Amino acid sequence: MSPNTILEQGSEFEALKAQLLQAQKLSSVGAIASSVAHEFNNILTSLLNYTKLAMKSQDEDFRNQALDKILKSSQRAATIVNSMLGFARKSSVKKEPVSLAKLLDEVLVLTEKDLHKHQIKLNKIIHDEPTAPVVAVHIEQVLLNLIINARQAMKSGGTLKVELKTCPEQEVAEIIVSDTGHGIQPDNLRKIFDPFFTTKDPDNNNQGGTGLGLSVCRQIIENHQGRMRVESILGKGTSFIIKLPLKAEEETQNTFAETLKTL
């Protein structure tokens, strides 16, 4: 095979990988879309009611309180829209220093309604606020996937714990997403990162698992020179542990195509 043919195949492969990433991202947005729409409905109802009350009332204190509620609801709507837009945007794939606590918050804004709807309590533990060189939208995608998987594993409620800390000795940030769900069969632990491995049956809307979520997550984390692993106890719950380097590695890792050009 000529180097040119290999080069073409390399860039086709990269293009397919990018498409897969985008498709997986849209599928995770789809999983929370209806809860986000409901949340907007609630915000709108609150805005309409407080506006009407404020217009009717002659009491200045009461009007101020109503205006305060209107302001808070509008700010919440703006936060949700910004998170959604940030996530859906086909942004650059450049790594930039980003506060991981901020990324986590943006994903939790999108998912908290969905968690609440499924009687899932959130336990957020931020030990410190590391900044790491990441492609923000990709790490958000990983967190969203893990949170959706966790929610799906807790069919009758439970607790989702998200933890963020710095491990200075290893120069990494650690993010742990744990649930108190049904856990993973020991036999399946080795397979869950394989593309197309799923235990989720198609439901009435044909919305079963694709088995692509975790394989894309692992690919994203490895593209950041990070590590991702799982611990699970059947019937008790599952934890996904992600480690991300705090320092950008020298761009020694040429892309596949670039490496081939030098052959």
User: What are the residues binding ligand ADP (CB under 6 A)?
Assistant: 145, 149-150, 153, 179, 181-182, 184, 192, 197-200, 209-215, 238
| Residue where the block lists tokens 């967190």 | 143
Is residue 231 within 8 A of residue 239, CB to CB? The reply is yes
Closer Cβ to ligand ADP, 35 or 141, answer by number = 141
Residue count of the chain: 263
Nearest CB to ligand ADP, comparing residues 66 and 143: 143
Q: Tell me the closest approach of the beta carbon of residue 183 to ligand ADP, in angstroms.
A: 6
Smallest distance, Å, CB 200 to ligand ADP? 4
Would you call 241 helix, strand, or coil by DSSP? strand
Shortest distance (Å) from residue 156 CB to ligand ADP: 14
| 66 or 154: CB nearest ligand ADP | 154
Decide whether 129 or 194 has the Cβ nearer to ligand ADP.
194
Determine the Cα–Cα distance for residues 245 and 225; give it in Å rounded to an integer: 7
Q: How far is the CB of 146 from ligand ADP (least distance, A)?
A: 7
Is the CB of 134 or the CB of 212 nearer to ligand ADP? 212
Phi, psi of 154 (to 5 degrees): -110, 75
**Whole-angstrom distance, CA of residue 224 vs CA of residue 95:** 8
For the CB of residue 60, give the shortest distance to ligand ADP in the complex, in Å: 51
Query: Residue 9 or 198: which CB sits closer to ligand ADP?
Result: 198
Q: C-beta of 159: minimal distance to ligand ADP in Å?
A: 12
For 2-24, the DSSP string reads -HHHHHHHHHHHHHHHHHHHHHH
The pair of three-digit structure tokens given for residue 166, joined into one six-digit string: 């710095």
Alpha helices in the chain (DSSP H): 3-56, 60-88, 100-117, 136-153, 186-189, 213-223, 256-261
Query: For residue 197, what are its two tokens?
Result: 């491995």
